[in-house]
Amino acid sequence: MIWRHLLLPLTAIAGLSMVIWGGFMPDYWMLRHLPPGTEPAYPLQTVLTFCAIILAECLLLLAVLRPGSYCRSWGRALCASLLALAIAGFWLSGFMHAPPYYGMHLQWWLWVTLGLLMLTLLSAGQAWRQRRKVAE
């Protein structure tokens, strides 16, 4: 019971930590364009922007799923899955030559999308079994 209330905040914390960690990774594409011997600084502004994006994405999922009243609602899970697939397509379109924090965000979002697809399948299966049991 308590897990469904904690799942989105824990997912957001995982995404934030992945993006912050990705900010510490070397951006080899950018290093090719810097003068030799120049040490790049931590990309604080863009990492903070991606942290805000992660929080906005989790709030969007919270608004669609509404875990407080979620009970085998395969329709909500399907809407969240389709929304997550559309957002994943958007993030995939800019992946080439992207900095590591972008890749970490994309990786996190793909895991979220996979989890939502699994939730949709489980919710639809439970609803189908319940409907079949009532029909018998």
Res 39: pLDDT: 82
Query: Residues 79-133: pLDDT tens digits?
Result: 999 999 999 999 999 998 899 999 999 999 999 999 999 999 998 998 888 888 8
Q: How far is CA 51 from CA 27, 37, 75, 79, in A?
A: 18, 30, 28, 24
CA distances from 35 to 40, 42, 109 (A): 10, 17, 34
pLDDT digits (tens, 9 = 90+) for 55-91: 999 999 999 988 777 776 888 999 999 999 999 999 9
Query: What is the pTM (predicted TM-score) of this model?
Result: 0.89
Query: Taking 80 as the threshold, does the pLDDT of residue 1 lie above it?
Result: no
